[in-house]
Amino acid sequence: GAVVSQHPSRVICKSGTSVKIECRSLDFQATTMFWYRQFPKQSLMLMATSNEGSKATYEQGVEKDKFLINHASLTLSTLTVTSAHPEDSSFYICSAEDRELAEQYFGPGTRLTVT
């Protein structure tokens, strides 16, 4: 199957700083990427849908000014957590969609810890 990479896999940052997470589709072009947040032993919470070349669509309750999403190319989407706080600590997962196959391919996730 297709491969989606995510970088970094783990990051620790201080409160008030910003962190950028990259999501790349390595062997296919993804017009749509999704960003999820997952709390321990819980399901995926969709944060936003990112379409290449256009603004991301955020789910209700997700602050777009805090979680900046950029999908500048068909293989790269980035999530920037701005002015991070401890409550932003979580596991962030991206996925890239192959629309023709109606399949999502998930990245390995990024563990963010804000101290």
Partner 1 sequence: AQSVAQPEDQVNVAEGNPLTVKCTYSVSGNPYLFWYVQYPNRGLQFLLKYITGDNLVKGSYGFEAEFNKSQTSFHLKKPSALVSDSALYFCAVRDFTGGSYIPTFGRGTSLIVHP
Which residues would be at the binding site for partner 1 (CB under 8 A)? 1, 4, 6, 34, 41-44, 46, 49, 91, 93, 95, 102-109, 111
Q: How far is the CB of 1 from partner 1 (least distance, A)?
A: 6
Least Cα distance to 36 among 113, 108, 75, 92 occurs for 92
Q: Which is nearer to partner 1, 12 or 16 (CB)?
A: 12
CA distance linking residue 115 with residue 101, whole number of Å:
41
Q: How far is the CB of 43 from partner 1 (least distance, A)?
A: 4
Q: Which is nearer to partner 1, 67 or 105 (CB)?
A: 105
For residue 85, with 0-12 CB atoms within 10 Å meaning exposed, 13-18 middle and 19 or more buried, which class applies? exposed
Q: Which is nearer to partner 1, 28 or 34 (CB)?
A: 34
Structure token pair of residue 68: 């900046």
Q: How far is the CB of 113 from partner 1 (least distance, A)?
A: 12
CA distance linking residue 32 with residue 111, whole number of Å:
22
